[in-house]
Amino acid sequence: GMNMTGVETVSGENTLFSVCFQYPDSTGGNITSANSACRKVTAKDIECFFNNLKPDGRKEMILAVPEVPLAPRLKLLEIGRNRSSFNIVSVLPAEIDEFKNGDGFMLTDLLSINIDEAGKIAGLESAPSDTVINACLNVLTGINSKMMVFITDGPNGSYGYSNGRLEFIPPLKTKAIGTGGAGDAFLSGIITGVCCGLPALKNYSDHYFSETPLASAGELGTLLASFSVTSPDTIHPSANAQTLYDYALHNSVCFSADFARLFNHI
């Protein structure tokens, strides 16, 4: 069902290859090849793709993530801003200075980062999470006060910022089999929630997950991330609306009326 109009095959190039590693405490990461076809994507390729689209992107989301080089991602965001699209971004610590100097944060509507990336933005090598988060937001809001920001802090939960308010989103604790892909699942849930009309945040910081009924895209991201780590795979092979709903019921998670509508078809 995907529209493959903008996809080409490049002879002699490989698809992206990545290996997930995991430590005994279930933390880990990815080692990704740097010589794949993704590295061949250029800003010109981005321009050529949009030449064939209508100029109105008001119902459009653009996702710029590190699988391709920074230059085409900045071009993607620039075009998205000109089209009035909703620009969603994640960025690696090593890219942050260049991304900032390329006005990337100015072009971002929603930024999803982890606590290490927040520390890089804040210029803090080692500090308590609350210090890092506040310093990071001071930098980001000084650049783009309208940007929404989500910051994950591993098993400690996550934080969301929107319209001048910082909100804590507690984790849904579960037995983690593998944490690889949890950040991507978190962002996927947020994007899905926004697409389905949920607010980014619910304007209340619960002390524990589902202390009050789930109502926000940030909480959908947390729910999906919790479900994701119950699989050893970086992408949970059984993740769908039905299994996520069952997982929520198993953990006695309460939904608001608007949140429950996401699962009405089940």
Of 12, 10, 68, 13, which Cα lies nearest the Cα of 39? 68
- Strand-pairing partners, residue 32, are 18
Residue with tokens 């910022």: 161
Q: Helix (H, G, I), strand (E, B), or coil: what is residue 66?
A: coil
The helix/strand count (H/E) of the chain reads as 9, 8
Kindly list the strands in the beta sheet with 148-152, ordered across the sheet, starting from the edge strand earlier in the chain.
Answer: 61-64, 86-89, 110-114, 148-152, 158-162, 165-169
C-alpha count within 13 angstroms, C-beta hemisphere, residue 139: 17
- Strand-pairing partners, residue 36, are 14
pLDDT tier for residue 93 given thresholds of 50, 70 and 90: very high
Four-residue CA torsion sign, 221, 86, 32, 129: negative
The answer, yes or no, to whether residue 252 has pLDDT greater than 90, is yes
In Å, how far are 117, 119, 129, 163 from 126, measured between CA atoms?
A: 12, 8, 9, 28
When the pLDDT of each residue in the chain is averaged and rounded to a whole number, the result is 93
**pTM of the predicted structure, to 2 decimals:** 0.91
In Å, how far are 59, 86, 151, 190 from 194, measured between CA atoms?
A: 12, 10, 17, 6
236, two tokens = 């949970």
**CA-angle at 50, arms to 45 and 54, nearest 5°:** 170
pLDDT tier for residue 232 given thresholds of 50, 70 and 90: confident
pLDDT digits (tens, 9 = 90+) for 167-205: 999 999 999 888 888 999 999 999 999 999 999 999 999
Percent of the chain surpassing pLDDT 90: 74
Query: What pLDDT shows up at residue 26?
Result: 67
pLDDT digits (tens, 9 = 90+) for 4-52: 888 888 888 888 888 878 788 767 777 888 888 889 999 999 999 999 8
254, two tokens = 């309460």
As a whole number of angstroms, the longest Cα–Cα distance in the chain is 54
CB 84 within 8 A of CB 107: no
Query: What pLDDT shows up at residue 137?
Result: 97
Measured between its terminal Cα atoms, the distance across the chain in Å is 21
129, two tokens = 């999470």
11, two tokens = 């002879």
CB 74 within 8 A of CB 99: yes
CB 213 within 8 A of CB 254: yes
More reliable by pLDDT, 255 or 32: 255
CB 107 within 8 A of CB 80: yes
Query: What pLDDT shows up at residue 220?
Result: 98
- The letter for the amino acid at 184 is D
